[in-house]
Amino acid sequence: MKLKHILLALMFMLLVGLVACGDSSEDTDTGGDTTGDDNTEEPSGDTEEPAEPETLHVAALESAYGVEVWENIIAAYEEAHGNVTVDLTIERNIEEVMRPNMQAGEYPDVFLLATDREEGLTETMIKENALASLDDMLAMNVFGEQVTVEDKLLDGFTDTLATNPYADDETYLAPMFYSPTGLFYNAQLLEEYGWEAPTTWDEMFELGEKALEEDIYLFTYSVAGYFDTLLRSMLYASGDVDLFNAAMTYEEGIWESEEASRVLETIAKLADYTHPDTVANANPNDFVRNQQLVLDNEAIFMPNGTWVVGEMAEAPRADGFEWGMMPVPAFEEGDTRYAFTFFEQIWVPSQAENVEGGKEFISFLYSDQAAEIFLAAGAAQPIEGIVNMMDDEQAFFYSIYSNDVLPAMGTFASTEPVPGVNIGDELYVKIDSVMSGRVTVEEWINSLESANDSLRPAMN
């Protein structure tokens, strides 16, 4: 009897199911003739309302990569998203354009603007705690892909004061457009004289002596500000990340330490091997003349980034010129060598109208689709597999991080404004005076320690 009851129940359930299927077939026409009754009921049940179209406001600094690349990125994002319109403001003087709007309470949802700009707008936002945290953006999937932003970014790019400005683990600025930096030179010149690219500072100065015998100078630099990448790499090489972080957080007595002072002493020693026209040309109007010294075989090395190749693309050069690039020499044979990695930053103002939409847009910028658009303009995103997307010349420069060469990254910790104190001026701009002999290393150290004493209590 029990089996009979089960069979009857199953037959009843099957009958109900067939009736239900018959009813629904009249309501879900899939094409062809229909012969249903006039009183056929419409499907019932709740349906989701379509999401409201949204507008996203993006502000970006117009750089050497141009305007068209951002127009292409936005077109790709709008097509992929399907429900967003992006308004773009892109200018070379983006700070002047956006600052009045922001002071009036009108903020972009996304802002591409790096630190270390003369206007200091990004630093102002940091000091005012006016940036949205991007930790949740790092945890979300790259828009259109099945991998998180955090997993796709290259290691270390969200572990520095350049992205975590409050010296904690929280990210407020996302890395964009990374470029390895180092010492650029004419590889053909070294080959012509049978000289090896130096791996230590001792070898560097030995090469400097050989070069002087041929009326060639060892060194030049574009402007003193370009020492930011060279000097930071040297700090890593002299005392590893601990020395670097101590310097970036204004630790008391750090510039008097053996490891930091030998960095400054080495830079001062370069003055003996630096082309005599360098300091006079090291200004915004004439810096290209210093870069031309390398192309003309009048100087061997200059600190620079990969952008210099495009910047000097139309410049005349010595016969057979071939770009070479090397990391900063080590202080001791066998020590780790470093190449500082410069990257721009993108961020979301905490008072933006569409904070979440801004974060979603940033996640798209790390997609393979966006990376290919950026690469076509010469900009490289710091994501896994990016070198495989590059042409041979680009890949040559970006492959510097191999053979025991490590990236150096980071910048100074954010502080409240201290009138009359600018650590960048004290550390980098003063190099012109060191090179010309107007400032001694001891005076340089004293000025840095004085600046540190003022900035240390003002750290955010």
Across 338-353, average pLDDT: 96
pLDDT band at 50 (very low <50, low <70, confident <90, very high): low
Quick check: 47 pLDDT over 70? no
Bridge-based pairing state of the strands 299-305 and 174-186: antiparallel
* DSSP character string of 335-399: --EEEEEEEEEEE-BTT-TTHHHHHHHHHHTTSHHHHHHHHHTT----BTTGGGGS-HHHHHHHT
What is residue 57's DSSP assignment? E
Q: What is the pLDDT of residues 188-225, one digit of tens each?
A: 999 999 999 999 999 999 999 999 999 999 999 999 99
**pTM score above 0.85:** no
pLDDT of residue 49: 55
Burial class (CB in 10 A: 0-12, 13-18, 19+), 99: middle
CATH label, 54-179+342-408, candidates 3.40.190.10, 3.30.565.10, 3.30.300.30, 3.30.360.10: 3.40.190.10
**Mean confidence (pLDDT) of the chain:** 89
The fold adopted by the segment(s) 181-341+414-458 is: D-Maltodextrin-Binding Protein; domain 2 (3.40.190)
Q: How many CB atoms lie within 10 A of CB 214?
A: 12
Q: What is the pLDDT of residues 99-120, one digit of tens each?
A: 999 999 999 999 999 998 878 8
pLDDT of residue 2: 36
Across 62-78, average pLDDT: 95
Residue of 410 and 251 predicted with greater confidence: 251
Q: Where are the domains of the chain?
A: 54-179+342-408, 181-341+414-458
pLDDT of residue 14: 35
- In this structure, the chain runs to a length of 460
Quick check: 310 pLDDT over 90? no
Name the strand (E) or helix (H) holding 56.
Answer: strand 54-61
How many Cα atoms are found within 13 Å in the side-chain-facing hemisphere of 378?
Answer: 14
CA torsion 122→126→127→131, rounded to 10°?
A: 120
Highest averaged pLDDT of the listed ranges 5-9, 356-360, 387-391: 356-360
Highest averaged pLDDT of the listed ranges 16-20, 258-262, 411-415: 258-262
**How is residue 321 written in tokens?**
């010129």
Residue of 179 and 46 predicted with greater confidence: 179
Q: What is the pLDDT of residues 124-169, one digit of tens each?
A: 999 899 999 999 999 999 999 999 999 999 988 998 889 999 888 8
Query: 167: which residues sit within 8 A by CB, 6+ positions away?
Result: 161, 249, 413, 459
E strands in 274-319: 299-305
Quick check: 42 pLDDT over 50? no
CA distances from 145 to 77, 173, 360, 402 (A): 13, 22, 12, 28
pLDDT band at 394 (very low <50, low <70, confident <90, very high): confident
Quick check: 419 pLDDT over 60? yes
CA distances from 374 to 50, 64, 150, 181, 304 (A): 32, 12, 19, 19, 21
For residue 5, the one-letter residue type is H
pLDDT of residue 416: 85
* Same-fold call for 54-179+342-408 versus 181-341+414-458: yes
pLDDT above 70 coverage of the chain, percent: 89
Quick check: 5 pLDDT over 60? no
Quick check: 71 pLDDT over 60? yes
